[in-house]
Structure formats: structure tokens, C-alpha cells
Amino acid sequence: MRTLIISLLLLCTAATCWAADLTPLVTGDWLEKNQAKVKIIDIRKADEYREGHVPGAINIMYGALAIKKNNLDNELPQADDLADILNAAGLTSKSKVVVYNKVDNIMERANMTRIAQTLHYAGIANVAVLDGGWNKWTADKKAVAKEAAVVKSGNENFAFNSKIIVEQKQVLERHGKALLVDTRDPEFFFGSAKLPFVERFGRVKGAVLLPSSWAFSKEGAFRPVDELQKYVTGVIGNDKSREIIVYCDSGRLASVWWFMLTQVFGYKNVLMYDGSSQDFMKNPDFPIEQFHW
């Protein structure tokens, strides 16, 4: 009997034992075998979806779930609007969801984790990203569909998890206590460059640097997890309970490390500053610094 139990445990992988939670990063091979068991969300533009998509995928464009609000970009929709979108897509809190996008650049890659985080915010616990996205799916010559998926809308009362998102007031309250992690590229962290919609150069005083762009290979897939673990450990350490606040320019890039830290590496207290530097740079009294590492 003991031998039988051990054999079953060895066979029980994410692909074969569906009782286990959905793993946060899935391959095209895995999705090809399990696509009937998950909800697949294509976040590309509607015309791209119509030209071809993963069979069974539902199209929810990125811009529907990351909106402009209070003069800030890439913000979460109002709770009732978000619930309407998710219900129209037939999602529930118990859904197992795989998100994909094209991955030609860092913003498109980060869009996947931004939407994955939004689904977690809505209380959907089992959310994965298709590693390598649409690019790898097609490069591997996987099946492509053109007909839109048939969706049965729902009426879920989503329980939103607002605790994973912080605003400027909370960041100021936690400054000097929480570890602030800047996920932009080094020139923005250093203060020699900024995006046009950000009012000033620099970073949150005391922040450390962990660029989201470094999480991906040039082809758009995530780098090996053991390599990323070294990045994480070298910058933020091994304390999985430490309070960490990730930010970028508008809350898009920061979602990459929010997703990886919480879903892959098991950090328990990671928050994301949704407004990020687009928000805090409007406050002349906000503690910032520049021109040194």
C-alpha cells in the first residue's frame, strides 16, 4: 500500500492531478492538454483575436481591465464595472484562468501579469500566465481558432481583495518600515530619465531596484525560476513575511514582480502601489531621491 501511495504522489503533477491548484506559469504544451478545464483569457485587441486565438479563449481586452481613472493610467476599474466584465465573461471566484497576450515588448508582457493581478484582486485565486504568450503558442505551431468562444454569462458576487493594493497615503504611512521596490529600468530609478506623464525625475527615497524587464528572456518568456530566485534574494532577501511595496510608473510593470513574488516565490505580504510614480510625483512633499544608487 505504501508503494502504491508513493507512486500516485510521483504521478500527481499539475498536468495530471487537477485537484491541485493551477500553477502560476503554464506552458503551451500544458494548456494544449488542459484547455477544456480552464478559462482562457486573450487580452489582445479585438481584431487580433478575430484573426486567430487559442481555441476556446475569451477576448477581454487589456484596456477594459486597466483604465484611466482620476488622471492616472492603468488603474483598476470600479468594483461594479469589474464585476460586470468578469460576469459577462462567465468567470467566477472558483474559475481556473489562464491569461495570455502577445509578448513583443515589456509592456505587452507586463499586461499579462497586470490582468492576472486584477483577477486575484477580484478574488479569483487560481490564475496562471501562459509563459511565452501568443508568440510562443504560434511559434510552436499550436492549434489556432478564429470563431469566437461561446460564453455563458454569470452572476457572481465577487469578494474584492483591496488589501493587495495601496495608495499614496498608505505608502507614506509605511515609508521607512516597508521595503519599497522600484521595478522600472535603471535609468528611471537613477533619475536620468522619465516618461512624459511623470512630472519629476527620481524614485521613492530608500527604494531598491528590481527591474521587471529583467524577468524575461528576449523572446518574451520568463527567465528560469532558479535564476529569478537569485535576483529576488539578492535584492529583497529571504524573509517571506516582510512587508514589500512594489511600484513603477503606472502600476503595470510592478505587477510582474507582484505576481512572481506572491505566486511563484511565496512572499506573503507584497502590496502594489497602483498609482506609482505618476501619482506620487505630483506631490511636492513626497520623499524622493535621484542621482545615486
Residue among 117, 122, 123, 59 nearest 246 (CA)? 117
**Grid-cell match 476556446, residue found:** 56
- Assess whether pLDDT exceeds 60 at residue 18: no
Sign of the Cα pseudo-torsion (227, 28, 33, 120, in order): positive
Looking at domain 162-289, its CATH class is: alpha beta
- pLDDT band, residue 21 (cuts 50/70/90): low
Residue 168: strand, helix, or coil: helix
pLDDT number for residue 156: 95
Instruction: List the domain boundaries for the chain.
Output: 17-139, 162-289
Per-residue model confidence as pLDDT tens digits over 210-258:
999 999 999 999 999 999 999 999 999 999 999 999 999 999 999 999 9
For residue 111, count other CB atoms closer than 10 A to its CB: 28
Q: What pLDDT, on a 0 to 100 scale, did the predictor assign at position 283?
A: 98
pLDDT band at 201 (very low <50, low <70, confident <90, very high): very high
What are the angstrom distances between the C-alpha of 62 and each of 6, 24, 39, 43, 75? 43, 19, 16, 5, 11
For residue 17, the model assigns a pLDDT of: 36
Handedness of CA 227, 232, 238, 243 (dihedral sign): negative
pLDDT above 70 covers a percentage of the chain that reads 93
Average model confidence (pLDDT) for the chain? 93
pLDDT of res. 20: 43
Q: Is the pLDDT of residue 171 over 80?
A: yes
CA proximity to 99, closest of 35, 25, 42: 42
Quick: pLDDT tens for 106-147.
Answer: 999 999 999 999 999 999 999 999 999 999 999 999 999 999
List the beta bridge partners of residue 289. Answer: 203
Cell numbers linked to 285: 512633499
Q: What span, in angstroms and rounded, lies between the C-alpha atoms of 27 and 137?
A: 9
User: Confidence band (pLDDT; 50, 70, 90) for 27?
Assistant: very high
CATH architecture of 17-139: 3-Layer(aba) Sandwich (3.40)
Going from the C-alpha of 225 to that of each of 27, 57, 139, 198, 272, the distances in angstroms are 14, 27, 22, 32, 21
pLDDT at 62 over 90: yes
d(CA 122, CA 83): 8
pLDDT at 2: 38
Provide the pairing of β-strand 179-182 with 25-26: unpaired
What is the model's pLDDT at position 281?
98
